[in-house]
Chains A and B, each alone.
Chain A
Amino acid sequence: MPVADAASKPITTIEAIGETAEGARLQKAWLDIDVVQCGYCQSGQIMSAVALLVGNPSPTDDDIDAVMAGNICRCGTYPRIRAAIMLAAQG
């Protein structure tokens, strides 16, 4: 989606995503699994994961891969991202 499409729309960023149910669950799961390494990409990873869970509360591994493939992590936190999303999806 081009950024221009977001003009005049409400935008939620990582700073407030914890105020949503999915965001809070995911942030907690991120801490429980200890996903982060350098951390630079993690805001984006969590935002994508929120979008995933909002649209699909019980994703499979393949669902996770499909949605999260747009976010690059050079530290290789992918295995823990999968685990954290699964944990958050369980409630």
Chain B
Amino acid sequence: MSIFDKTNAAVSRRQFLIGASLTGAGLVIGLQPSPSSAAAEAFEPSAFIRIPVDGKIVFVMPSVEMGQGIYTAVAMLLAEELEVTLDQVTLEHAPADPERYANPLLGDQITGGSLAIRAVYEQMRKAGATARMILVNAAARGWEVAPDTCKAEAGHVVHAASGRRASYGSLIHAAVSETVPQDVPLKPASSFSLIGQPVRRLDSPEKVNGTAKFGIDARPEGVSYAAIAICPHFGGKLRSVEDGPAMAVKGVKQVVRIEDAVAVVADNTGAARKGLAALSIEWDPGPNAALSQADLEKLAEDAINGSALPHIQEGDVAKAEIEHGPVHEFVYRQPILTHSAMEPMNCTLHVRSDGCDVWVGTQIMGRARQAVADVTGLPLPKVVVHNHLLGGGFGRRLDVDGVILAAKIAKQVDGPVKVTWSREEDIRHDCYRYLNYSKVTATLGADGMPVSWRHRVIGPSVMARWLPAFTRDGIDLDIMAGAETPYAIPNKYTDFVRHEAPDGMLTGNWRGVGATRNIPVIEGGIDELAHAAGVDPLEYRRRLLQHKPRLLGALHVAAEKAGWTTALPQGQGRGIALTEDFGSFAAMISEVTVGNDGMLKIDRIICAVDCGQVINPDTVEAQIQSGIIYGLSAALYGRITVHNGAVVESNFDDSPVLRINETPRIEVHIVPSSEAPGGIGELGTPGVAPSLFNAIFVVTGKRLRSLPIDHNELRRV
């Protein structure tokens, strides 16, 4: 059976329950009583739990599930305090409603930045505990006993002294009259029965038997299917297209034109794609028609010496550089990257004069809804977004360009229409991780340890567009994340040169966000300095991290598990990279073999993780493996190039990603911790490239500073 009740039915039932809760059909429990309503309705505004008379308890998921295991983790948090077993609950996607379901740390209904657990760790447990206490109080009142003589267990309230026992469902009529208790105490970690245990994912069964429903599986009655061609040139437009050849294809119903794209609408996807392929579309390539990869790289190169905004200043770097020269200088260059989620971009809409339904899997529910309201001109409450499981997010589904495009098409179509992108459109119209350059200058003291670190970051300000609250005085706080290093260096200076992609090329968030921009530079850079100082790179880091016990602790575990002090055979090497971000700490050690011909083989990656209180250790392991493999794809292959203002690559043949036969042994070691939980979804990605840089250097003496790794640079004969 699905962990999800039929979503639409659940939504309508929910509305019924809210209205009917005084009659006792169900009880909706939330954290903040609504000021405008009494008794049962008062629990509705931030509803994460719904308890029916019979059947399963419903947990409403404020974050979306895209593989990271958040549905299981949030259910564990709620169940831990509500005192129910996970087989007593069913899950429901939250509707688009930022007022109730915003991530408290992001202030919007966003799933990203490895922030879900950090944001809701307390909120969800409080929701569970508050609900439990109401039910206990209700039972105690009915039995005329003191609440503290009752106990909640497995979905029941029990009064041991009298042997009485009541299911939660049987208590909801009484519970609606209970006052909502404030500040219910939470369990200490020592009493956890679920949190910290390896729990199987609740979404596994349906993902294993083919019944899981992703956005692409939405099939409202009477739906048509659209295939699209977006102007391949960034900033270009549609010039002209004749309908005829597409309309001649059996099943094709309509050719839709929008400013920068053409859609062919048909009875089925095959006909739509065939119709699209039959069209001769003339594009106006626009202002970027002559733009090439060399131009983009030259612009980024020039920006290194562009006008920079200072960010972090500690000590006096300029003075240190004069006193402690020579200055070690290195420039790291990172390419344009795609997300390439497995589920093709898609969005299904039914635009009517009185409202619109949207079926999509998105990381940013509220914004998806707003975008459709903007495009259709409908009032926001008339737009209903039905969220789904996401077939991968990685930041791609943090943008709503696909929703806007689909809405523009759907506006011109009678009845519901599903807009599905081909892989080629996805790769050529991503919200790219844009070119990211870094220039570092550092000086060393007489003991070889760094005295100054100057780090200039050159790249776009995604936050200026996407989350302006995450900028300060023109500085994108994400792109600067951790640029100053975690290391004890007395003089530090970081600054930011804003360098945007050409107009019309969307840039966005990519797994690991700021850390994947800066960790390769910092961890490659600190290794360079260790080498210049003639000190073992592990020892060098240890000396610089005496003030960072958790990072040091993770490093210690990784070094021990890797056998850092044991020699490797000729042609093999180990490299370290540390990551402190997302409220977590990771130490990665990669072991590689480099042949004389430059062939690189990654033999093993060890990663020690301190992510504070672990919710589900099984998920921590899976997410670190996942982040590492995502990082490997980028480090080995990730590079988008531009020619004539259009992306050259188009599919997995020329834009490859890691396959199972290339996947090294990955060992994840969790460092026990009782600190607050940190994020894990992105923690594994940033360290991959620099740990490879550093391992390759050990073998070849060749210092790589650009990505993807070029085998030709590694030849020794």
Contacts and interface: CB of A to CB of B under 8 A. Distances in A.
A, B: real partners = yes
Contacts of B391: 38-41
B341 interface: yes
A13 interface: yes
B67 interface: yes
Interface stretch (B45-53, B405-413, B455-463, B621-629): B621-629
Nearest to A26: B208
Contacts of A46: 208
Interface in B332-347: 340-343
A65 B661 contact: yes
B200 interface: yes
A43 B210 contact: yes
B22 to A, nearest CB: 39
A2 to B, nearest CB: 14
Nearest to B391: A40
Given A74-B340, A75-B392, A37 B626 contact: yes
Contact of A40 (B209, B211, B342, B625): B342
Contacts of A38: 65-67, 341-343, 389-393
A76 B658 contact: yes
B79 to A, nearest CB: 18
Nearest to B632: A76
A36 B207 contact: yes
Contact of A80 (B200, B394, B622): B622
A42 B208 contact: yes
B68 interface: yes
A69 B659 CA distance: 6
A72 interface: yes
A73 interface: yes
B571 interface: no
A30 B204 contact: yes
A34 B204 contact: yes
Given A14-B210, A34-B204, A37-B69, A82 B622 contact: no
Interface string B373-409: 0000000000000000111111000000000000000
Interface string A62-83: 0011101101111111111110
A18 interface: yes
A15 interface: yes
Interface in B167-226: 200-201, 203-212, 214
B392 A31 contact: no
Contacts of A31: 200, 204-205, 208
A36 B343 contact: no
A27 B342 contact: no
Given A38-B392, A39-B67, A75-B392, A14 B200 contact: no
B652 interface: yes
A80 B207 CA distance: 15
Most buried by B among A75, A76, A78, A82: A76
A35 B200 CA distance: 10
B392 A74 contact: yes
Q: Bin chain B's interface residue count.
A: 35 or more
A15 B209 contact: yes
B671 interface: no
Nearest to A40: B391
Contacts of A65: 660-661
B200 A34 contact: yes
Interface in A22-62: 27, 30-31, 34-43, 46
A15 B206 CA distance: 10
A15 B307 CA distance: 59
B660 A74 contact: no
Interface in B614-638: 618, 622, 625-630, 633
A74 B341 contact: yes
A27 B209 contact: yes
Nearest to A68: B660
B389 A76 contact: no
Given A64-B660, A72-B342, A36 B201 contact: yes
Interface string B640-652: 0000000000001
A40 B344 CA distance: 10
B622 A74 contact: no
B204 A75 contact: no
B663 interface: yes
Contacts of A13: 210
Nearest to A46: B208
B666 interface: yes
A30 B654 CA distance: 31
Contact of A37 (B68, B206, B663): B68
Contact of B210 (A15, A64, A76): A15
Contacts of B201: 34, 36
Interface of B: 65-69, 200-201, 203-212, 214, 340-343, 389-394, 618, 622, 625-630, 633, 652, 657-661, 663, 665-666
Given A38-B389, A38-B391, A72-B342, 12 more contacts: A34-B622, A38-B342, A39-B206, A39-B389, A40-B341, A40-B391, A68-B661, A75-B342, A75-B392, A77-B622, A78-B659, A82-B660
Interface of A: 13-15, 18, 27, 30-31, 34-43, 46, 64-66, 68-69, 71-82
17 contacts: A15-B211, A30-B208, A35-B204, A35-B208, A36-B207, A37-B626, A38-B65, A38-B342, A39-B206, A39-B212, A41-B342, A74-B630, A74-B657, A75-B392, A76-B628, A79-B663, A80-B622
